[in-house]
Structure 1
Amino acid sequence: MFLSCKQETKTTDTTTMEVEKPNVVILYLDDLGYGDLSSYGDLSSYGATELQTPHIDALAKEGLRFTNGYATSATCTPSRYAILTGSYPWRNKDAKILPGTAPLLISTEQQTLPKMFDAEGYHTAVVGKWHLGLGTGHVNWNEHISPGPNEVGFDYSHIMAATHDRVPTVYIEDGRVVGLDPNDPIEVSYSENFKGEPTAISNPELLKMKWHHGHNNSVVNGIPRIGFMKGGEAAKWKDDQMADHFLKKAQDYVKAHKNEPFFLYFGLQQPHVPRTPSPRFVGKSTMGPCGDVILEADWVIGEFMNTLKEEGLLENTLVIFSSDNGPVLNDGYYDQAVEKIGKHDPNAGLKGGKYSLFEAGTRVPFITYWKGRIQPKVSDAMVSQLDFYGSLASLIGAENNTLDSKDLLPVLLGDSKQGREALIMEAASRTALRKGKWVMIPPYNGLAINKQVNIELGNTSEYQLYNLFKDEGQKDNLATLKPGKLKEMIEYYERVIGGFDISQGSNP
């Protein structure tokens, strides 16, 4: 346990020493798959053969790589909710993929990760993707927007409201749109277009990127989006400058707060669609924009880590790297992601992907790095982003008063191999159970395959049971062959989903 920054504490021989609280940085990518990094190549026969990601690889090879690291959910908003609240997202019926006009998903009364850090004397910041809603549902984008990140514990915020492919396409800093011309006010709607405003359907000649499904509303920078937007021309972001923009904000934040303990949640937009790499990275991979933006994200991580090094912070900073859900190739735009995939397997042999209850939906790259504290190794322990709250509370000596988050700090630091016994996984409000080496997926109605993105969702009319130690690709459903194990898994799952007494330790 660490004490407050430069707080004096007495030792048994009456001498005093100074103990500094470590900085904490979460580097969170968007739609990055388990097989998208070359550093995970030696952990799977599938590997990232078409991509080399040397900067993220350096984190992995000098830190702790987890082979069983999970996001809570197979989509972005729920996973982000879990990190910041320490609560399973399926407990909140509104924790789904949100439109850009959604109200703030996290209650301002709710305990959050940044509030916990703040109470322990940390400065806190979020830079990059937010996608947890803003305001109360009727946002006036031309005034101060509240509540938002600042009202749930972040001292500083520089974000995009939702996603790269949704309006409003502007940056928001501490509740105000950056660069807004008051004579050109912003209007946003997810129900109907504004009179006379072009869309991808009415004005296809404006498009620089063709839409495949779901992205045919307002056109910004030649890219069709989800939702309708009018005004705010001076404030609109430049898509191919976004990586540089967020990197600079994260670097500036570190430099400004290097002399006090800080918590930074840095949400990169890559490799989410639309994939718009800087001109410096166009054509750097053989996979088109899909590969180019992963290489760009790798460069961003390298530049950010260089800043920590230059500012003398590596030895006192815990860095956690992961992704909000599994991969997807065609997620709404024609960008040759499918055609140029080559031998690359973003799933690394796992079944499913984004939106899916199968393993590739929630098992993601998961790395912890702390120079001089974490020793390089690979861990097979099961860990979840849900446990960031409980583990980081233990790190800085704070109270963990969350519902679901466990203290796995010894596991994240490489001092223990005893990870989670069990985890509830979620995809579009459907849930499944991983317990030990087994996965149980209950019956669900609905399409077996999302044909728009070509991903198996895990929906069948029968129970599914898989032994991941023998069948990581989930090819053999053992539900009928292992009735005793299936019964055990169902009973455990129903206890958790149906409610539990946290004092009895029955939560997975």
Structure 2
Amino acid sequence: MSRFRTVPALCVPALCVPALCVAALLACCQARLASQAQAAETRAAETPNVIVIMADDLGYGDLSCYGATELSTPNIDALAENGLRFTQGYCSASTCTPTRFSFLTGMYAFRQPGAGIAPPNATALVKPGTETIASIMKRAGYATGVVGKWHLGLGEGDAPDWNGELKPGPLEIGFDYCYLLPTTNDRVPSVYVENHRVDGLDPADPLWVGNKRPSPDHPVGSDPEVRKTLKMDWSHGHNNTVHNGIGRIGFYTGGNAARWRDEDLADKWVEKSVQWIEQNQSKPFFLFFASHDLHVPRMPHERFQGKTKLGYRGDSIIQLDWCVGELTKTLDRLGIRDNTMILFCSDNGPVLDDGYEDGAITKLGSHQPSGIYRGGKYSIYEGGTRTPLIAHWPGTIKPSTSDKIVCTVDFAASMAALTGQELADSACPDSFNVLPALLGQDDAKGRDHLLQQPNKGPTLALRIGDWKVLSYENAKPMKHLTYEKGPGKYELYHLADDPSETKNLADQEPERLKEMLAALEKIKADGRSR
């Protein structure tokens, strides 16, 4: 149900209604309008603004409110201290595009063909007509905006029209406004997109994006002479087009007036978000603040560089905390903090060397990005998907810690419940209403099961209660950037006794393994879990 209703027009034939009757009717209408205005104000107080802050590559152990001792995150800690800090909060996948897809659509990304990590020229992954958390909120009468990293493709056809309309995009799936990093900061093109167009693009300097070197003299990070000039060296995979002294994935030319500087990204997200909140403060709003911190290349603003002893990765965490502080200060300044629900989360677990030599490993010290959990980004161990998750709403959510299982894929159904919107059977097929858990209600229940994925299937994991099964595509041992997989196609863990997933019980519990795998296959075959 929309929070604001329109008043039906009254047809009054002036020639056949006495003047006194008209005056009485007008007085009645005025009283009715005043009553409805008061009711609207009451509903506004009952239904909050909603801001989802999604960090990038932030691990369970990366914040001081989650046990980090090598740095301090006071603004995020304040959300946790005065809100609900989840110890079993999850994202749905251990890489960015799948989690963002699932967050928006309420559907596990493995069900969507092509929902792996999006390349530079990816077109819109979420098609117009798809129910999303944004369309749900818009239907409920909210202004809807997204600022920050998108990485879900733009446009249609073979490639985005970077010099024309980038459509479809966020505005076709429920958002009223967007200001985006279209891919990731390690992928080209290094430009901003506002609504349907590249911001600040000079038509005389058209933008070209491709997957092949456009000319032999085009500067690339793999060129030994160019590599000597880089301000951040690459370790693997990031040696194509050089921008801002850093090699990227992919190739692009032109668009020079529209190009950004890595150091300024966080400031831009805050600037645009604050402007948008100010413009929409008089009505309910939903903002998706999609931070790029701590994604590589980690190049925080100069004022944050060297502020921690953990290198640029630690400095990026401090920058993220600053962003959170700027948003909460804005809410305080506008007097709308108490009527705003903030959900803080991450798109996946941590990674150290993700393609650049930035000191993340050499300066790690005793810091544990995943906390006690195994693995990180790209893995289906707990460190890949169990991340910080905080719900904050002054006066409504009591300060506490929760062990309920909640996931970012559930935000869509939960926000539908918050705003009184009904979901069609076909909509958000894997999103559960965990609103009572997010609000910290005494009798609340979280999820009883959760599917976890890396980049895309068929490697998947399923948690049911305290048991978790991992199903791999093959039995080969594997050493990855953030984890090692031993021999065997299946792994089974009892998380209550073994949260770090060190004791594989697949051989000791054959019947349970069989039951868990059958449940996993059923979720895959059914096409939905809600």
TM over 0.5: yes
Distance change >3 Å, CA 212–CA 377, structure 1 → 2: same
> Does residue 81 of the first structure (1) align with residue 101 of the second (2)?
yes
Partner of 1:22: 48
Distance change >3 Å, CA 424–CA 201, structure 1 → 2: same
TM-score by length of 1: 0.93
Counterpart of 2:164 (choices 118, 143, 149) is 143
Written as runs of structure 1 = structure 2, the 5 A alignment for 1:100-249 is 100-136=120-156, 137-202=158-223, 203-249=226-272
* 1:195 Cα deviation after fit: 4.8
- Contact 2:476/2:489 (CA < 8 Å) preserved in 1? no
SS of match in other structure, 1:266: strand
Q: Distance in 1 between matches of 2:431 and 2:486?
A: 28
> Does residue 4 of the first structure (1) align with residue 32 of the second (2)?
no
Q: Per-residue CA shift, 1:76-126, capped at 9, x if unaligned?
A: 000000011011111112110001210100011211111111111111100
Partner of 1:291: 314
- Contact 1:7/1:19 (CA < 8 Å) preserved in 2? no
Q: Per-residue CA shift, 1:134-160, capped at 9, x if unaligned?
A: 111322211121111111111100001
Q: Distance in 1 between matches of 2:222 and 2:389?
A: 40
The one-letter code matched in structure 1 to 2:497 is: K
Partner of 1:337: 360
Q: Distance in 2 between matches of 1:229 and 1:268?
A: 23
> Does residue 435 of the first structure (1) align with residue 464 of the second (2)?
yes
Q: Distance in 1 between matches of 2:293 and 2:199?
A: 21
TM-score by length of 2: 0.89
Q: Distance in 1 between matches of 2:476 and 2:286?
A: 41
The alignment yields a C-alpha RMSD, in angstroms, of 1.8
> Does residue 482 of the first structure (1) align with residue 505 of the second (2)?
no
Structure of greater Rg: 2
The one-letter code matched in structure 2 to 1:268 is: S
- Contact 1:99/1:190 (CA < 8 Å) preserved in 2? no
* 1:176 Cα deviation after fit: 0.9
Q: Per-residue CA shift, 1:379-399, capped at 9, x if unaligned?
A: 101111111011000000111
Partner of 1:50: 70
Partner of 1:13: none
Partner of 1:392: 415
- Contact 1:214/1:332 (CA < 8 Å) preserved in 2? yes
* 1:194 Cα deviation after fit: 3.9
> Does residue 407 of the first structure (1) align with residue 433 of the second (2)?
yes
Q: Distance in 2 between matches of 1:193 and 1:476?
A: 51
Q: Per-residue CA shift, 1:261-320, capped at 9, x if unaligned?
A: 111001001011001111111110001101001011101101111101111111111110
Q: Distance in 2 between matches of 1:28 and 1:194?
A: 38
* 1:450 Cα deviation after fit: 4.2
The one-letter code matched in structure 1 to 2:337 is: L
Q: Distance in 2 between matches of 1:28 and 1:206?
A: 33
* 1:234 Cα deviation after fit: 1.0
Q: Distance in 1 between matches of 2:477 and 2:56?
A: 24
Deviation larger for 295-304 or 485-494: 485-494
SS of match in other structure, 2:404: strand
Q: Distance in 2 between matches of 1:77 and 1:116?
A: 21
The one-letter code matched in structure 1 to 2:471 is: P
Q: Distance in 1 between matches of 2:75 and 2:193?
A: 29
The one-letter code matched in structure 1 to 2:506 is: A
Q: Distance in 1 between matches of 2:235 and 2:180?
A: 27
SS of match in other structure, 1:494: helix
Distance change >3 Å, CA 262–CA 194, structure 1 → 2: farther
SS of match in other structure, 2:405: strand
Counterpart of 2:446 (choices 410, 419, 435) is 419
Partner of 1:37: 63
- Contact 2:2/2:139 (CA < 8 Å) preserved in 1? no
- Contact 2:188/2:252 (CA < 8 Å) preserved in 1? yes
Written as runs of structure 1 = structure 2, the 5 A alignment for 1:243-322 is 243-322=266-345
- Contact 2:348/2:387 (CA < 8 Å) preserved in 1? yes
* 1:191 Cα deviation after fit: 3.5
* 1:466 Cα deviation after fit: 0.3
Q: Which runs of 5+ in 1 are unaligned?
A: 11-15, 42-47
Deviation larger for 155-164 or 181-190: 181-190
Percent identity over the alignment?
A: 44
The one-letter code matched in structure 2 to 1:257 is: N
- Contact 2:475/2:489 (CA < 8 Å) preserved in 1? no
Q: Distance in 2 between matches of 1:105 and 1:75?
A: 15
Distance change >3 Å, CA 404–CA 454, structure 1 → 2: closer
Partner of 1:363: 386
Distance change >3 Å, CA 446–CA 153, structure 1 → 2: farther
Q: Per-residue CA shift, 1:7-26, capped at 9, x if unaligned?
A: 99x9xxxxx84311311110
SS of match in other structure, 2:492: strand
Q: Distance in 2 between matches of 1:186 and 1:459?
A: 46
Deviation larger for 378-387 or 135-144: 135-144
* 1:207 Cα deviation after fit: 1.0
Q: Distance in 1 between matches of 2:270 and 2:293?
A: 12
Distance change >3 Å, CA 3–CA 454, structure 1 → 2: closer
Q: Distance in 1 between matches of 2:298 and 2:385?
A: 21
- Contact 2:476/2:488 (CA < 8 Å) preserved in 1? no
* 1:446 Cα deviation after fit: 7.2
> Does residue 72 of the first structure (1) align with residue 92 of the second (2)?
yes
* 1:193 Cα deviation after fit: 3.3
Matched residue pairs, number?
489
